Structure 1
């Protein structure tokens, strides 16, 4: 059975594990992963404060996304991670479709996100376009800032 449900505050550890192992999947060094540890930690407070939805497959949490509302009738997709053994199966696409549908139903007009460079093509496949970039702590590495207009 597969379902997407709202995460609860007790999901902090599993969502952190999914985040960190998924990020490491893309070949970042152990040193870099250590530097990002706090940024990649999902706390109970974070879950309480933001909209966080997890994907359950066969009674196990394997992926999630999170977002929050911003100014100008926009929503920011803050996280979308799939556990490494489930990457490439279509779960990311399932989560994105669920997320976009939720936002369309909320009558928000725009989704923004900062993409990992490895995920830019994934987001482009949903119609997101790059409109800027942010320099990161890794020399010559930039995060694309992307948007999807929901007119």
Structure 2
């Protein structure tokens, strides 16, 4: 397993036994935006991971001091992939870790031959993706809540 260290944060591939922990982290991160428990329950299915999918989905965790602080995953095959998830522990939102995860994801995507990434974002994260250089690319229906539309962004990596 390759481990990259940036500013005391280690980036490494997720382990199969971390699947449940990552799903819980994603829900805590989603809850940061004030969603109701009913909405969080609806999101839980989409934000859960099977242990065997972590490797193929290129799930990468950021950790420090043995604690997982956030994670992302890259789906698809070059030339265009998808940033399927990017979640942080709520206490880390707004502290620069999201930017570090984004930069690591973009670098990893380039190394794998991706020329662009598509991101289906939580509406509350739209400003973050715009700040990272992603451009609006439409919207798509939520897989969790009927009638809810999610913004889609595209980032060119070349």
Within the alignment, does 1:103 sit opposite 2:115 as a pair?
no
The counterpart of 1:14, out of the listed 14, 21, 41, is 21
Kindly report the root-mean-square deviation, in angstroms, between the aligned alpha carbons of the 2 structures: 1.5
Q: Is the 8 A contact 2:13 2:55 kept in 1?
A: no
Q: Which runs of 4+ in 1 moved over 3 A?
A: none
Provide the C-alpha distance between the structure 2 equivalents of 1:12 and 1:5, rounded to a whole number of angstroms. 14
Provide the C-alpha distance between the structure 1 equivalents of 2:43 and 2:121, rounded to a whole number of angstroms. 15
1:31-110 pair list within 5 angstroms: 31-70=38-77, 73-110=79-116
Provide the C-alpha distance between the structure 2 equivalents of 1:3 and 1:82, rounded to a whole number of angstroms. 14
Query: What's the CA shift string for 1:7-57, capped at 9, x where partnerless?
Result: 110111221111010011111110111122111112202213310000111
Provide the aligned length of Structure 1 versus Structure 2: 149
Provide the C-alpha distance between the structure 1 equivalents of 2:71 and 2:103, rounded to a whole number of angstroms. 12
Query: What's the CA shift string for 1:96-136, capped at 9, x where partnerless?
Result: 01111111222321111101111111111111111110133
Ranges in structure 2 where 5+ consecutive residues have no aligned partner: 1-7
Q: CA deviation at 1:85?
A: 1.5
What TM-score comes out, normalization by structure 1 length?
Answer: 0.91
Question: What secondary structure sits across from 1:48 in the alignment?
Answer: coil
